């Protein structure tokens, strides 16, 4: 937003990198996202001469096509982003990774953008039959409107067409042209609760974000800033095998425990665009990242 400076949200991350033996450069996000100008976006990135200059992007989410523009522009400067465009999409879009974790993640159905163009509710109701009258949540292939929980996320009875339509249309209106991929509906699971969000009424679940690099869980965070986690820690051993499945070098796995004590995967994300919680120990995260990156593969 200001030339030559990282956006405020990334200040601490930029500072953390400077403390380590790593180089960093700024990307002009607006040039990429708004102008489709990847060459301008990477202008500040110096050309590299060595063949394998590995880089990690840390910043705002990018649609898969924008990520590919960034990836290609950096490649032509000799800089190789850790995830190629296919790997980025694989963890970014739920329908891409879902099949790896059937049974370990809430049951889900989806509809691509193309099938939403005229009268989407017929197609939506048809897909929703899979859930009978059990509650679901709606999101797109990447994000939900979880902060508008009752209005645009939670569907208490998906066989109730009128209520479902209200939530779905509100969700589509809020996403607008930022809708990624299409619509996803997921069976609502009773996750263990921490609290109810003070502003939005959204249930806060005892959820953790695991960062995985080259199949190893390198770092984890409490997903929410508010709510009392006590001294609970995520079962890293339990997810060690799951962490090896996605076709991506660097990704996140959000996990939560159900009321019946079962641990499930809530969602995956690309590690480059996954946020860190506000109270995170950013330096410790970058130390973990740097240590694992310098291990021989």
Ligand X SMILES: Nc1ncnc2c1ncn2[C@@H]1O[C@H](COP(=O)(O)OP(=O)(O)O)[C@@H](O)[C@H]1O
Site residues (vs ligand X, CB under 6 A): 106, 137, 139, 143-144, 146, 186-189, 191, 205, 207, 254, 266-267
Say how many C-beta atoms besides its own lie within 10 A of residue 82's C-beta: 19
Least distance in angstroms from the C-beta of 263 to ligand X: 14
Q: Which is nearer to ligand X, 82 or 189 (CB)?
A: 189
No. of helices (H) and no. of strands (E), the chain: 10, 12
Least distance in angstroms from the C-beta of 131 to ligand X: 11
Q: Which is nearer to ligand X, 209 or 219 (CB)?
A: 209
Say how many C-beta atoms besides its own lie within 10 A of residue 228's C-beta: 11
Q: What is the DSSP string of 197-222?
A: -TTT-PEEE-EEEEEEETTEEEEEEE
Least distance in angstroms from the C-beta of 286 to ligand X: 23
Q: Which is nearer to ligand X, 55 or 194 (CB)?
A: 194
Provide φ and ψ at 255, rounded to 5°: -130, 155
Q: Which is nearer to ligand X, 16 or 276 (CB)?
A: 276
Distance CA 22, CA 265 (A): 32
Least distance in angstroms from the C-beta of 52 to ligand X: 32
Least distance in angstroms from the C-beta of 48 to ligand X: 33
For residue 256, the surrounding DSSP H or E stretch is: strand 250-257
Helix axes 11-18, 282-293, angle to 10 degrees: 50
Q: Which is nearer to ligand X, 83 or 252 (CB)?
A: 252
Distance CA 178, CA 147 (A): 16
**Strand locations in 23-163, DSSP E?**
53-55, 79-81, 108-112, 136-140, 154-155
DSSP 92: H
Give the CA count within 13 Å in the CB-facing half-sphere of 169.
Answer: 11
Q: Which is nearer to ligand X, 26 or 128 (CB)?
A: 128
Q: Which is nearer to ligand X, 2 or 261 (CB)?
A: 261
Least distance in angstroms from the C-beta of 223 to ligand X: 6
Least distance in angstroms from the C-beta of 164 to ligand X: 16
């Amino acid at each position: 937003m200001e030339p030559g400076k990282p956006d405020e949200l990334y200040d601490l991350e930029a500072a953390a990198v400077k403390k380590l033996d790593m180089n960093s450069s700024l990307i002009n996000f607006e040039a990429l996202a708004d102008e489709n100008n990847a060459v301008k976006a990477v202008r500040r990135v110096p050309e590299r001469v060595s063949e394998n200059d590995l880089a990690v992007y840390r910043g705002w989410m990018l649609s898969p096509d924008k990520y590919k523009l960034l990836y290609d522009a950096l490649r032509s400067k000799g800089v190789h982003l850790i995830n190629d465009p296919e790997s980025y999409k694989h963890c970014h879009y739920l329908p891409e990774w879902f099949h790896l974790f059937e049974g370990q993640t809430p049951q889900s159905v989806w509809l691509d953008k193309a099938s939403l163009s005229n009268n989407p509710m017929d197609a939506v109701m048809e897909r929703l039959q899979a859930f009978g009258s059990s509650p679901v949540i709606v999101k797109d292939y990447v994000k939900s409107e979880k902060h508008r929980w009752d209005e645009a996320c939670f569907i208490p009875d998906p066989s109730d067409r009128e209520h479902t339509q209200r939530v779905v249309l509100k969700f589509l209106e809020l996403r607008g042209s930022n809708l990624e991929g299409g619509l996803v509906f997921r069976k609502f699971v009773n996750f263990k609760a921490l609290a109810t969000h003070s502003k939005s009424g959204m249930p806060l679940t005892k959820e953790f974000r695991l960062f995985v690099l080259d199949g190893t869980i390198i770092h984890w965070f409490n997903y929410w800033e508010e709510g009392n986690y006590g001294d609970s820690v995520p079962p890293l051993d339990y997810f060690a095998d799951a962490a090896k499945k996605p076709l991506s070098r660097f990704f996140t796995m959000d996990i939560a425990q159900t009321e019946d004590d079962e641990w499930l995967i809530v969602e995956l994300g690309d590690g480059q665009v996954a946020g860190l919680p506000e109270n995170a120990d950013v330096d410790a995260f970058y130390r973990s990242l740097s240590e694992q990156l310098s291990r021989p593969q």
